[in-house]
Amino acid sequence: MTLDERALPGGIRVELARGDITEDDSDAVVNAANAQLMHGAGVAGAIARAGGYVIQQESDAWVRKHGPVSHAHPAWTSGGNMPAQYVIHAVGPVMGEGDEDQKLESAVEGSLEVADQLHLKSIAFPAISTGIFGFPKDRAARVMLSTIAAYFAGRPSGIGAVRVVVFDEPTVRAFRAAWDEWGW
């Protein structure tokens, strides 16, 4: 369910939505992943269950070929059984490890770069790192939204729509407050 929609300069549509990211029909959904792409719990577990075992198989192959995934360079796999064609696996920061804001910025920017490299028109983000990684929801919302805006201000892109899909009411409140604070 779309909660709000705004246009960035250049006509990029940014939406705030509440729902299940595994049901999103964007070209790609972003997975809040760990560096080894072991999709057990949270958003990663939900994506692996909805997309089917192929997502874990492709993730294992990615790690064997490229090594652990970094914050700035997300991996990508097919979307398996989900409506999305791709899953972009972004490694968000674990709270307390240091430089969390910069790592979250890198994960968001890197995901957008992968979407552009794949020539995608739309991408959906969850609230990266706000679950078991412990990143405060309000802080993550500010970092994610400002990074999305900065990405499109600084370069040409083929992406036409970015959706931030949040699941629960506390996350909706945090992202709504950041959305209103930025005055999009």
Q: What is the pLDDT of residues 96-139, one digit of tens each?
A: 999 999 999 999 999 999 999 999 999 999 999 998 899 999 99
SS3 call for 106: helix
Q: List 33's β-bridge partners, or say none.
A: 91
If one counts the domains in the chain, the total is 1
| Residue pair 46/22 in contact by the 8 Å Cβ criterion | yes
Domain that holds residue 57: 2-182
Q: List the CATH number of the domain containing 49.
A: 3.40.220.10
**Measured distance between the N- and C-terminal CA atoms of the chain, rounded to whole angstroms:** 19
Is the pTM for the entire model greater than 0.85? yes
